[in-house]
Amino acid sequence: MLKKIAFFVFALGLGTAYAASSQEYMLCLDDCSASWEGCRSNPTWLDPNACHNQLLRCNFNCKQIYG
């Protein structure tokens, strides 16, 4: 489970780094959506709102960077 969480955080960071290099807000939001889908497909989360909360944080970060 810890490896899955670590991979999820790595993928989120990688997506954020790619979005920052291209300077596109929509790409950042697409990465957030892709990470959210990956989170939802992972049945090991104990908190049912964890994926939704992660999506909100990611969207907020995109807005802070590009908005």
pLDDT tens digit string along 4-18?
Answer: 666 666 666 766 665
9's CB contacts (< 8 A; 6+ apart) are none
What predicted TM-score, i.e. pTM, was given to this entire model?
A: 0.60
Per-residue confidence (pLDDT) for residue 33, from 0 to 100: 94
Q: Residue 58 falls within a domain, yes or no? A: yes
Q: Residue 64 falls within a domain, yes or no? A: yes
Q: Residue 13 falls within a domain, yes or no? A: no
Per-residue confidence (pLDDT) for residue 40, from 0 to 100: 85
pLDDT at residue 42 tops 60: yes
Q: Residue 59 falls within a domain, yes or no? A: yes
For 28, the domain range is 23-38+48-67
Q: Domain total for the chain?
A: 1
Angle, in degrees to the nearest 10, between helices 50-66 and 25-40: 170
Q: Residue 29 falls within a domain, yes or no? A: yes
Q: Residue 6 falls within a domain, yes or no? A: no
Q: What is the mean pLDDT of the chain?
A: 79
Q: Residue 8 falls within a domain, yes or no? A: no
